[in-house]
Structure 1
């Protein structure tokens, strides 16, 4: 037996009340990922018998972490009244931190795991088959709610769907899974980007090399439910007001429902710009990108162009980023300009793959030319949704290069990249690359395989290192050669996968799915 995903809800609004697909039964599991605000407020997860409200609603499991009391209350609500509370056990939640929670349904009880550790049990007071609704409310942001249930056994080597445990008729492992260590506050620098992970707010940091046309700054974070304002400044140094020169002042104001953009020059604020929608939501994660152009800054929020801001101070004078206010930051990533990246990457890739008469040397996916020929660059696909499915222009011919740029959520489970024959789930797959952060017993593993006529082949699991960082961006290149697929990640050769299905030109579809956000897909 295995666990099969039967439903998923991404980024639901809070409070959230939704149907549990198929109701509850022994062997089913509910997986919840989210983040808590810094305000130490309470939240609640209820498994209910309907969408009614108190006092009519029957609640089979009431799970209520209370920061002010330092305990987690478990209870049921039956026939209009609350029953006996259970509060024993530790307190596994932390303000401002992400969390993972699993509720596993057994014949006689619920088992609950928090952050990979078994937390508690709660004996059934209401028959599980009567439960059909989940309700989440309070001071919490939810990334994902996933429902898994027992399914039929899969062939060996088949990529199982989210198997976090076994149903109760099988030998029981401990409820939960091993969580990889969370990234710590730190500074990372590579050839074409600088990254700061989990910085404290307020944050003031240098922009390495200052700003240049084509350079970009990506900020990923979470907002509290308290609707506080926050500020992002691109500055000329670290002085304080009124001496401070600010080239771009970006200030979302929840109480006014607008985002103020301005500059601070010569000791005074200049003309405000306020037009445009309000793209931020209390309690929700956000992804913001500032791109430096010759005449203006282009500002994207959650993958959508939000506004432009004309330069008032020459951008080459800007050398400092500051962030303040009511928010948590997961990652700040400062990427080099396209011209800087091309020059540096050309030098770094010269020794990776030597060009031959039939195959180009491995390149960056940006203006790369094959040896002795011109490699056309197709229009890039910007911020596509996931799952992503697209034809490969010209097919997977030797010399074809696929550049995939994206980022990972703060708590990903897995994502996959397929080169396959068609668009159907049952079609043949020439190259399957399954990145598993935590999946069953796998942690930080990358599985490669192929599928022919519905049957998976032998897995390849050996890797020289694990190249992905939780919460960080990545740049992946897949190069088709005559004998294999070559993969580079973040400008380093990573692995090869020998062709098992021939000819590779049959496999002209790219499919990407799982816990990943895509920023750009480019075919060359």
Structure 2
């Protein structure tokens, strides 16, 4: 069965650059655009445009343009009816040559708040009505891994977890687990990371219905359960291991009536069959280990 993303979460994986694609449903206050990518060593510049139409000649509500030209800077602007506005610029450069990045554009009432690698970077005041934005364009010297547009009144709740939130993380799952429910976990394994542990638990009994344990140094992803205080048999076989040091990951865990289906960076990784008969009692998520969490989407 093909993976179907939950409403409001339609990730784009590995788009070719230059990229030009629609933002379905447009923008509204509360929407966030999440972009994961990397900067090549030989970068000169790249740009991201939020467009008021689906062609390159459309008005530009936000022009975001990092330039590595000896006088490193990031330029912001807008363009209406073919005429560019006045440039905003900052000499702060949040990107590093040869390194991965995570960028978030949060749509706020006063403007676009831009965060890079978990840090507030710049807020660009609205010049064109955000309701006009219909598409996104990315071009230049950049590699993009994922583009996600989420939030802003879509069904379901978006529960962001800031990168400086302490791990271990433990929280109730609103409404518990049920067939077709999908959880999204995004994060990064820093250099030197050895392990990550994700547990789907029954809070009442402390049973671990589904234990997922990527072991970075060993190159394996261990899956198991602990019911009545006893660990079950480990599953270890995988055709690939997407978890490595210094890399971001975008994980989707979908609960079915018979199994959990786990996708990482858009690729199906494995299925884990339910060992707890009453899997709908699962109501708690715990995360621990060497990991930085960007957000969790229930």
TM-score for both structures, normalised by structure 2? 0.68
Could you tell me how far apart the structure 2 residues matched to 1:216 and 1:259 are? 20
What does 1:267-278 correspond to in 2, within 5 Å?
Answer: 267-275=82-90, 277-278=92-93
- The answer on whether the counterparts of 1:404 and 1:518 sit within 8 Å (CA) in structure 2 is no
Q: Secondary structure at the match of 2:155?
A: helix
Of structures 1 and 2, the one with the larger relative CO (CA 8 A, separation 6+) is 2
Could you tell me how far apart the structure 1 residues matched to 2:60 and 2:94 are? 23
Q: Secondary structure at the match of 2:92?
A: coil
Q: CA deviation at 1:461?
A: 4.8
Are residues 200 and 265 of structure 1, via their aligned partners in 2, closer, same or farther at CA, if it must alter by over 3 Å?
same
More strand by share: 2
Larger Rg: 1
Which residue of structure 2 aligns with residue 473 of structure 1? Answer: 250
Which residue of structure 2 aligns with residue 245 of structure 1? Answer: 59
2:205 is aligned with 1:389:
no
Q: CA deviation at 1:194?
A: 1.4
Which residue of structure 2 aligns with residue 459 of structure 1? Answer: 233
Could you tell me how far apart the structure 1 residues matched to 2:45 and 2:116 are? 16
Q: CA deviation at 1:230?
A: 0.5
Are residues 489 and 275 of structure 1, via their aligned partners in 2, closer, same or farther at CA, if it must alter by over 3 Å?
same
Q: Secondary structure at the match of 2:98?
A: coil
Q: How many residues align?
A: 261
2:41 is aligned with 1:225:
yes
Q: Secondary structure at the match of 2:88?
A: coil
Q: CA deviation at 1:235?
A: 0.6
What does 1:16-415 correspond to in 2, within 5 Å?
Answer: 189-240=5-56, 243-255=57-69, 256-275=71-90, 277-335=92-150, 337-342=151-156, 364=157, 381-384=161-164, 388-390=167-169, 406-407=185-186, 415=196
- The answer on whether the counterparts of 1:290 and 1:298 sit within 8 Å (CA) in structure 2 is yes
Which residue of structure 2 aligns with residue 447 of structure 1? Answer: 224
Are residues 266 and 328 of structure 1, via their aligned partners in 2, closer, same or farther at CA, if it must alter by over 3 Å?
same
Are residues 341 and 473 of structure 1, via their aligned partners in 2, closer, same or farther at CA, if it must alter by over 3 Å?
farther
Which residue of structure 1 aligns with residue 293 of structure 2? Answer: 518
Could you tell me how far apart the structure 2 residues matched to 1:397 and 1:441 are? 29
- The answer on whether the counterparts of 1:419 and 1:511 sit within 8 Å (CA) in structure 2 is no
Are residues 259 and 419 of structure 1, via their aligned partners in 2, closer, same or farther at CA, if it must alter by over 3 Å?
same
Q: Secondary structure at the match of 1:231?
A: strand
- The answer on whether the counterparts of 1:216 and 1:291 sit within 8 Å (CA) in structure 2 is yes
- The answer on whether the counterparts of 2:43 and 2:97 sit within 8 Å (CA) in structure 1 is yes
| Match among 425, 433, 436 for residue 211 of structure 2 | 433
Gaps of at least 5 residues in structure 1 are 1-186, 343-363, 367-379, 421-428, 463-467, 479-485
TM-score for both structures, normalised by structure 1? 0.41
Q: CA deviation at 1:237?
A: 1.9
- The answer on whether the counterparts of 2:185 and 2:297 sit within 8 Å (CA) in structure 1 is no
Q: Deviations over 1:180-203 (max 9, x none)?
A: xxxxxxx97542211111111111
Could you tell me how far apart the structure 2 residues matched to 1:409 and 1:391 are? 18
Could you tell me how far apart the structure 1 residues matched to 2:173 and 2:136 are? 44
The RMSD of aligned alpha carbons is 4.5
